[in-house]
Structure 1
Amino acid sequence: MTCRICGADLPEGAMFCGECGSSTSATPESRRPVDPRPGDTSVLHRSESGVISIPVIGEPVGVERRAEPEVSPPGPDATPSGPAGGVTWPAEPPVPAGPAEPAEPEGEPDAGSAVWVLRFTTGEVVSVSGSGLVGRRPMPQPGERFAHLVQIVDRGLSVSKTHLEFGEHDGDLWIADRFSSNGTVVRRPGEGGVRCEPGRRVLVPRGSRVEIGEQAFTVA
C-alpha cells in the first residue's frame, strides 16, 4: 500500500500517511485547489427594472482577447517586428511591391477604439483602451493577456495586488472585481453605489466613480 500523494510505503489499513499527513483516500486531483471564479460570462446593465444580465458570447470570464491578424511566414526581405512597450507582435507578410511594414502592436488602441482616462485618488492618471488589470501589483493568470497592467501606490494595503479587471464591450467600459479583499463599489452619475459581485462585469459610463478599498478612481 502506497500514499498516492507522496508515494511513501504505508502499512495495510492505514488511514493517513506518516510522511506527508495526507489521507490514504486522497488523490492529486482531490488536492488540486478549485478555481473560485464563476464559469459564466455576463455584462451587467442598469435598467428601469433593476439589473439585467446580458451574455457576452465566446469570451471566458476574466479574459479580454483581441483578434490576432493571420500572417504568413516572412520572406527574405521582410522586416521583423520587435517588442514595443512590453508587447510583442508579429510582422506582416512581405508585399511584392516593396518591403513589409510592422503590424500595429496588439493592445494599442486603433483608430476606432474608445479611450478612457482613469484618475486615481493615489495621484496616477492613466489613459486606457481595451483590456487591463488594476491593483498594487497586478498579475495575469496563466493564459491571460491584457493590454494594460495599471499599478497604483497604496501604502495602507487596502487595494489588492490584482484588484479588478476592465475591458471594452460594444464601445462601453466595464469592470469586474477579481475577488479582492476589500471589494469594489461603482457609483454611476446620479445613482447610488453598487457593490460588484466578484467575477461579474459591470458597465461604468464616463463620470462614474469606482471605489477600490480605501482608494478610488473616476472614469472620463
Structure 2
Amino acid sequence: MCGAELPPGAMFCGECGSSTSATPESRRKPDPRPGDTTAIERPARRNSGVISIPLEGFRAATAIPSFVEAPVSAPVAPPAATRFVLRFSTGETRTVFGTGLIGRRPLPQPGEVFDHLVQITDPGLSVSKTHLEFGEHDGVLWIADRFSGNGTIVRRPDDGALRCEPGRRYLVPRGSRVELAEHFFVVD
C-alpha cells in the first residue's frame, strides 16, 4: 500500500487501488518457469520386437590400431563382407553390406548401430519412416519388417509371394523382389 489513510472496513486504497489485505508475497506475479522438482513426462519406450545380432557375432571384427586415425567418411566394408546391390523402383541403385535400415527417413533406436541408412523418396507416404531392417547371414541377405504400416512382401525367384511377419527375419536370395507398399527393390 501507499500509506494513505483509509476509512474503517475499506477493502481497497482510494489512492493506489491496492487491496488492504494484500501482502508483498500475494502481489508478486507467479513465475511461469517450472521449478526444480517439476516432473517432465517422457513418452513410453516401445520395444520394436526386432532382434539385432551384432556383426561381430558372425565375423571377426576388423580392428584398427590405436595409433591410426579412422576415416569419418562413408562406411567401408571389411574385406570379407558380402555385398548386395539393391535396385529400387525409383530408379536408384544402392550397394550395401553388413546391416542397415530402409524407409522414408530411417532412424535407428537408441543404442542401435547400422552400416547403412537407405532413404526412399515416397511422395505418397506408403513406405514407413523406418520400414525394414536388413543384414547378411552366410552370404545371403535377410530382411525384417520393422512393424511398418503397409507391410513387406518378399517374392523369391523360385517361390510365390510371402508376407513378412513384423520383427521376424526372412532370407532374401539374389534375384528376389522385396515390396515395400507401393515401392520395391530387387536384390542382385
Same fold (TM over 0.5): yes
Contact in 2 for aligned 1:131/1:166 (Cα 8 Å): yes
| Aligned-partner Cα distance in 2 for 1:198–1:64 | 20
Q: CA deviation at 1:124?
A: 1.3
> Alignment partner for residue 69 of structure 2, among 60, 80, 83?
80
Contact in 2 for aligned 1:64/1:131 (Cα 8 Å): no
5 Å matches for 1:162-201? 162-201=130-169
Is there any run of 5+ residues in structure 1 with no aligned partner, and where?
1-6, 9-19, 21-27, 40-60, 86-106
Identity %: 54
- The answer on 1:62 being equivalent to 2:73 is no
- The answer on 1:114 being equivalent to 2:82 is yes
- The answer on 1:37 being equivalent to 2:27 is no
| Aligned-partner Cα distance in 1 for 2:62–2:91 | 37
Larger Rg: 1 or 2? 2
Contact in 1 for aligned 2:145/2:151 (Cα 8 Å): yes
- Indicate the SS of the match to 2:55: coil
CA RMSD of aligned residues (A): 2.7
Q: CA deviation at 1:133?
A: 0.5
Q: CA deviation at 1:170?
A: 1.3
Q: CA deviation at 1:37?
A: 3.0
The one-letter code sitting in structure 2 at the alignment partner of 1:38 is G
> Alignment partner for residue 208 of structure 1, among 176, 179, 184?
176
Q: CA deviation at 1:122?
A: 1.3
Partner residue, 1:129: 97
TM-score (norm 2): 0.70
| Aligned-partner Cα distance in 2 for 1:73–1:110 | 18
| Aligned-partner Cα distance in 1 for 2:70–2:64 | 12
Q: Structure 1 stretches (4+) deviating beyond 6 angstroms? A: none
> Alignment partner for residue 147 of structure 1, among 110, 115, 119?
115
Partner residue, 2:186: 218
Is there any run of 5+ residues in structure 2 with no aligned partner, and where?
1-36
How many residue pairs get matched? Answer: 150
- Indicate the SS of the match to 1:167: strand
| Aligned-partner Cα distance in 2 for 1:191–1:72 | 46
Change beyond 3 A, Cα 1:81–1:63: same
Change beyond 3 A, Cα 1:163–1:190: same
Change beyond 3 A, Cα 1:113–1:68: closer
Q: Deviations over 1:141-172 (max 9, x none)?
A: 11111111111101110001110000011111
| Aligned-partner Cα distance in 2 for 1:73–1:34 | 36
Change beyond 3 A, Cα 1:34–1:218: same
